[in-house]
C-alpha cells in the first residue's frame, strides 16, 4: 500500500506525481503537518493520513513546498533526520512474536530457523519500519511547488 500524490494543475513534469509507500509517507506527512499547521486546515492535516483523495489547493501546496525548502536550507530537516534515526536506534529490540524468542519455528509454515527474526529470537519493533530522510522531503517539496495543488490518493 502506498500514497500516490497527484498534481492538480502541474506546472512541470516534476509536479505531476509523487509517491511514497506507507512506511515513508507517514513520517513525511507528520513532518509536513508539524511544520505547516499555519498553512493546512485540521481536515487537510488529518486527510493527509489517508489516501482517499483530499485536495491541497495550489497556493497551499506551493507554500508547503517553500516552507520545506526553507527548513532544508536552514538544516532543520537534516537535524530532524538525525534525531529521528537516533530515537529509532534507541528503541530496544523486541521478542519475536513468531517464535516467541526461541529463534526456531515448528509450525505449518516454517520448520527450522525463524524467518521473522532470522533465528535471533529478537527483532526490531514495527515503529522502526518508518524511515525519514532529507532527500524524501526535498523531492516532496519540489513536487508540491510544481504541482498546482495535489490530491493524496
> What mean pLDDT comes out for the span 90-113?
97
Q: For the packed helices 134-146 and 76-90, what is the interaxial angle rounded to 10 degrees?
A: 140
Q: What is the mean pLDDT of the chain?
A: 98
Domains of the chain by residue range: 2-51+61-74+92-127+137-146
- Reported confidence tier of residue 55, pLDDT bands at 50, 70, 90: very high
Distance CA 142, CA 139 (A): 5
- Reported confidence tier of residue 92, pLDDT bands at 50, 70, 90: very high
What is the structure's pLDDT at 137?
Answer: 99
- Dihedral sign for Cα atoms in the order 78, 80, 86, 88: negative
- Reported confidence tier of residue 1, pLDDT bands at 50, 70, 90: confident
Distance CA 14, CA 12 (A): 5
> What mean pLDDT comes out for the span 14-41?
99
- Reported confidence tier of residue 85, pLDDT bands at 50, 70, 90: very high
Amino acid at each position: 500500500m502506498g500514497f500516490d500524490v497527484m498534481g492538480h494543475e502541474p506546472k512541470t513534469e516534476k509536479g505531476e506525481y509523487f509517491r511514497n509507500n506507507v512506511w515513508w509517507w507517514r513520517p513525511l506527512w507528520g513532518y509536513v503537518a508539524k511544520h505547516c499547521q499555519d498553512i493546512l486546515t485540521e481536515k487537510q492535516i488529518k486527510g493527509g493520513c489517508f489516501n482517499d483523495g483530499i485536495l491541497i489547493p495550489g497556493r497551499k501546496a506551493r507554500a508547503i513546498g517553500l516552507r520545506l525548502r526553507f527548513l532544508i536550507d536552514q538544516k532543520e530537516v537534516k537535524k530532524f533526520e538525525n534525531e529521528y534515526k537516533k530515537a529509532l536506534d534507541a528503541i530496544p529490540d523486541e521478542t519475536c512474536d513468531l517464535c516467541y524468542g526461541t529463534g526456531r519455528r515448528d509450525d505449518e509454515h516454517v520448520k527450522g530457523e525463524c524467518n521473522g527474526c532470522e533465528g535471533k529470537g529478537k527483532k526490531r519493533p514495527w515503529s522502526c519500519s518508518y524511515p525519514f530522510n532529507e532527500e524524501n522531503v526535498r523531492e516532496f517539496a519540489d513536487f508540491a511547488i510544481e504541482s498546482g495543488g495535489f490530491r493524496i490518493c
